[in-house]
Amino acid sequence: MKQQPQVTYRDGLKEKNCILGRKYTLTHSDLTGELFLTIGKEYAIDRISFIRDEVLGSFRNDCGLYYYVYVLVDDPTEEGREEIRNRIFREELPDALSAIRVGDSRFFQTYPQLDDVPIWIYFDSNKEQWEAYEYYGSFREYRNSQHK
């Protein structure tokens, strides 16, 4: 997943520099590996497939600004695949965060302080062993599209 995403802005957010209320939907093509980043006032539900392997993110301000990411570990199509999906999300999240940072780089140039806000990932699962809320550093670590 190490390439520039195709970016689509909705709701005039390419021109608007609002931090809160900016929602990021990162999806990809299983066939081509292409990444698609949609930035709008709402998540791009129309871009989400039945497989539910998207990465959803937004800036939030609950006792301090941070970037919140949501991923669904449970597989809506097949029971018992949580361990595999959890592993894949964890392997791919650094590249996904890099794609978000690189894809909206002009916005981050306008607000360079956003490179230092903490990133928190919510791994959603109905099974307690896979549900987690974890710190993933800051966007400063993901500024290069060739994240290692």
**Cβ within 8 Å of residue 49, ≥6 positions away:** 27
Alpha-carbon span 55 to 72, nearest angstrom? 8
β-bridge partners, 91: none
**Cβ within 8 Å of residue 89, ≥6 positions away:** 53, 71, 73, 123
β-bridge partners, 55: 26
122, 133 contact by CB (below 8 A):
yes
SS3 (DSSP) at 6 = strand
Inform me whether the pLDDT recorded for 29 exceeds 50: yes
At 72-81, the pLDDT tens digits run 998 777 777 8
- Report the predicted TM-score, pTM, of the whole model to 2 decimal places: 0.90
β-bridge partners, 7: 37
At 90-106, the pLDDT tens digits run 999 999 999 999 999 99
6-142 CATH: 3.40.20
Query: Which pLDDT value is given to residue 148?
Result: 43
